[in-house]
Structure 1
Amino acid sequence: MDKEQKAIERLKLAAEMSETYYGKPLIVTTSGGKDSDVCIALALAAGINFEVQHNHTTADAPETVYHVRDTFRRLEAKGIKCTVNWPTYKGASVTMWSLIPQKLVPPTRLMRYCCSVLKEGGGAGRMITTGVRWAESASRRNKRGIYESLPHDLSKKIIINNDNDDKRQLFENCRLQAKRICNPIVDWTDNDVWDYIRSEHIETNPLYACGFDRVGCVGCPMAGRKGRQFEFTRYPTFERAYIRAFGKMLEERTARGLPCDWQTGTDVFHWWMEDGVLSGQIGFEEEQE
């Protein structure tokens, strides 16, 4: 069985489990990136009943926002329910710029609080799919599977890396109200993704044609220093927004009597961009932990 057919079969099983255990359609999540576009196309090819949801991070590039809107218009014309989830924190609406002062530290590779608040809030108590792939990082091969359960007690999480894994029956019959996840293209390579996009004439985010190899929040620490510099050159408004947020973060730290050697939001931004480390600031990550 080729990878496309395997992915379709995984989606069919996920849709069946969603209807059986939740009484609701499968949710296909989209970030506006190529992997999400492929998952949507595969769900359409599978002929399953599904919805589509997008978590608006408030830090997405304009092209990503427009691409998601265009995708939703096409899907809604087919009768598919599409939803945009706006982020909340502690019961209130939040943006990247208001979240940073509340967290008191910048988001980093080690402290990715922005992901948990802005990107991962939708689909609670439902069966969802994502475009996660092992090829994206070495850690994902150990931490992500074809099927996953995500209970409140993460020590009870079930990860299945084989379509015929013996644990799958346990996963299918588990009636705990945990979020269940299907990653239908988890074993696809970058070439597999692009080959499918070309063969099926899938419309993708225009940023890929502008030199971007990933699509995510502008300024994401996971993009690396050069990638972030490229993004801020293209989107200087986002750079100014981060600097303002860092300035408010410093004000909040001062108001709470917390130690701080940074003087301005610009100081924080330069440290955050790895342009240089100011004395005493590395300890903030240890403080947060």
Structure 2
Amino acid sequence: MASEMSLRLYGSPLVVTDSGGKDSTVCREIVRRSGIPYEVQHNLTTADAPQTIYYVRQMFRQLELTGVTCSVNYPIYKGQRVTMWTLIPMKKFPPTRLQRYCCQICKEDSCKDRFITTGVRWAESTKRKNNRGVFENFTKDPSKRIILNNDNDEKRMLFESCTVKGKRICNPIVDWEDRDIWEFIRCERLLVNPLYDMGFRRVGCLGCPMAGKNRWTEFRLFPTYERAYIRAFGNMLEAIHASGGKTKWKTAYDVFSWWMEEDKIEGQISLFDLPEWQGENVT
């Protein structure tokens, strides 16, 4: 049904969004078996583990040999290519659980005017709150918030329409449990991201605030990414000071310590002390 609607409404095949995770693996296989025409797209966040990047490349090579069109979307902000490390200084504050501009820019701004599939599942919403969304205007009115396309909220439906971005969304495994995902992968002998064999339960941006204390493990395994965040926070402080702003953070390590939710350091700043957070639109 989604394929027929995509061809009729957009004149283009259904797009399978592939993050490199287990849910994407299942969606990719389901769509392949359906026999419909489709494309596969991956959003390069620039903060994914090397294993994820290599895995996606491997899968794309295999798909392209069968005639499937595969493409990688690069994050764009204010008309220019960015990375996680250049985006943080531009935003002048770190990404947090509630202020996830990184998700919006690095993941959500792609596939405009297309019909897509996602691996969103209700089973992953147990610890997620209903007020999660894109805080484009920082309004406190939940009715004005826009839910991110990759939020696994229990209100997500099988078919969705995102009028803001002009795209429609199909969530074909929205009612699958974790056991369903892994049973399908094992029974069909599907190749998954090697991070799962390393003990990872989720595959996403390294250092994502949504990972909580697991970030320490991620940085122990991938110390280069920790250094990249600290360097970005240092550039962020320089950008704040260059624009005439003030902050109680003294060093990049102070920002990193706060961001990692360590004990509150002396003179620690609140994000709402920043002018950028005082009711201004940050998109």
**Does TM-score exceed 0.5, indicating one fold?**
yes
**Aligned counterpart in structure 2 of residue 209 of structure 1, from 170, 193, 197:** 197
Contact 1:105–1:284 (8 Å) recurs in 2: no
1:99 aligned counterpart, secondary structure: helix
Query: Deviation above 3 Å: which 4+ runs of structure 1?
Result: 138-143, 283-287
Query: 5+ unaligned residues in a row in structure 1: which ranges?
Result: 1-12, 153-176
Q: Give yes or no for contact 2:247–2:274 (8 Å, CA) kept in 1.
A: no
1:253 to 231, 234, 240: 240
For residues 200 and 283 of structure 1, the distance between their equivalents in structure 2, rounded to whole angstroms, comes to 47
Greater displacement, 136-145 / 185-194: 136-145
CA–CA distance in 1 between the matches of 2:262 and 2:52?
Answer: 28
Separation in 1, partners of 2:100, 2:124: 17
Secondary structure class of the residue paired with 1:82: strand
Give the aligned partner of residue 55 of structure 2. Answer: 67
Mapping of residues 149-164 of structure 1, within 5 Å: 149-152=161-164
Give the counterpart letter for 1:213 in structure 2.
R
CA contact (8 A) 2:121 2:175 kept: yes
| Aligned-pair identity (%) | 56
- Please state how far the C-alpha of 1:285 moved relative to its aligned partner: 7.5
> Contact 2:93–2:271 at 8 Å: present in 1 too?
no
Tell me, what secondary structure is at the counterpart of 1:222?
Answer: helix
Return the alpha-carbon distance in structure 1 between the equivalents of residues 153 and 257 of structure 2. 33
Q: Distance in 1 between matches of 2:91 and 2:273?
A: 12
1:66 match: secondary structure: helix
Cα distance in 1, alignment partners of residues 264 and 44 from structure 2: 31
Matched to 2:246, the amino acid is P
Out of 138-147 and 211-220, give the one that drifted further.
Answer: 138-147
Match for residue 113 of structure 1 among 96, 101, 104: 101
> In structure 2, how many angstroms separate the alpha carbons of the residues matched to 1:55 and 1:47?
24
- 2:28 maps to a residue whose letter is I
Q: Which runs of 5+ in 2 are unaligned?
A: 131-151
TM-score (ref. length: structure 1): 0.84
* Alignment partners' CA distance in 2, 1:238 and 1:92: 23
Distance 1:286 1:22 in 2: 42
- Cα separation, partners in 2 of 1:240 and 1:141, compared to 1, 3 Å: closer
Q: Which residue of 1 aligns with 2:157?
A: 145
Cα shift readout 1:198-221 (whole Å, capped 9, x = no counterpart): 111110000000010000000000
Contact 2:94 2:259 in 1 (8 A): yes
Q: Look up the equivalent residue of 1:146 and give its one-letter code.
A: L
Kindly report which structure 2 residues correspond to 1:259-278, keeping only aligned pairs within 5 A, or say none.
Answer: 259-278=246-265
SS where residue 284 of structure 1 aligns? Answer: helix
Paired letter, 1:111: Q
Secondary structure in 2 aligned to 1:144?
A: coil
Partners of 1:32 and 1:215 within 8 A in 2: yes
User: Which of these residues, 229, 232, 248, is aligned with residue 242 of structure 1?
Assistant: 229
Q: Do residues 135 (structure 1) and 123 (structure 2) align?
A: yes
2:173 is paired with a residue of what secondary structure?
coil
When normalised by structure 2's length, the TM-score is 0.86
C-alpha change, 1:14 and 1:286, in structure 2 (3 Å) is farther
Measure the CA separation in 2 of the matches of 1:76 and 1:126.
20
Residue 138 of structure 2: aligned partner: none
- The aligned residue for residue 222 of structure 1 is 210
C-alpha deviation, 1:145, in angstroms? 1.4
Measured after TM superposition, the shift of residue 286 of structure 1 is 7.5
Distance 1:112 1:213 in 2: 21
Secondary structure of the structure 2 residue equivalent to 1:258: coil
Aligned-residue Cα RMSD (Å) equals: 1.4
Please show how residues 63-102 of structure 1 align to structure 2 within 5 Å: 63-102=51-90
Please state how far the C-alpha of 1:197 moved relative to its aligned partner. 0.3
CA distance in structure 1 between the aligned counterparts of 2:73 and 2:8, rounded to whole angstroms: 24
1:232-263 per-residue CA deviation (whole Å, 9 max, x = no partner) reads: 00000000000000001001111112220111
* Correspondence 1:178-197 to 2 at 5 A: 178-197=166-185
Higher helix share: 1
Q: Distance in 2 between matches of 1:255 and 1:271?
A: 22
Secondary structure class of the residue paired with 1:79: coil
